[in-house]
Chain A
Amino acid sequence: GAVVSQHPSWVICKSGTSVKIECRSLDFQATTMFWYRQFPKQSLMLMATSNEGSKATYEQGVEKDKFLINHASLTLSTLTVTSAHPEDSSFYICSARADRANTEAFFGQGTRLTVV
Chain B
Amino acid sequence: GESVGLHLPTLSVQEGDNSIINCAYSNSASDYFIWYKQESGKGPQFIIDIRSNMDKRQGQRVTVLLNKTVKHLSLQIAATQPGDSAVYFCAENNYGQNFVFGPGTRLSVLP
Residues of A within 8 A of B (CB): 1, 4, 6, 34, 36, 41-46, 49, 91, 93, 95, 100-102, 104-110, 112
A1 and B46 form a contact (CB under 8 A): yes
A104 and B49 form a contact (CB under 8 A): yes
Contact residues in B for A110 (Cβ distance below 8 Å) = 41-43
Q: CA separation between A49 and B94, bound complex, in Å?
A: 14
The number of inter-chain residue pairs (CB within 8 angstroms) is: 56
Q: Which listed residue, A6, A44, A49, A109, touches B89 by the CB 8 Å rule?
A: A44
B42 and A109 form a contact (CB under 8 A): yes
Residues of B within 8 A of A (CB): 7-8, 31-32, 34, 36, 41-46, 49, 51, 89, 93, 95-96, 98-104
A104 and B46 form a contact (CB under 8 A): yes
Q: Which listed residue, A1, A4, A105, A109, touches B99 by the CB 8 Å rule?
A: A105
Contact residues in A for B49 (Cβ distance below 8 Å) = 104
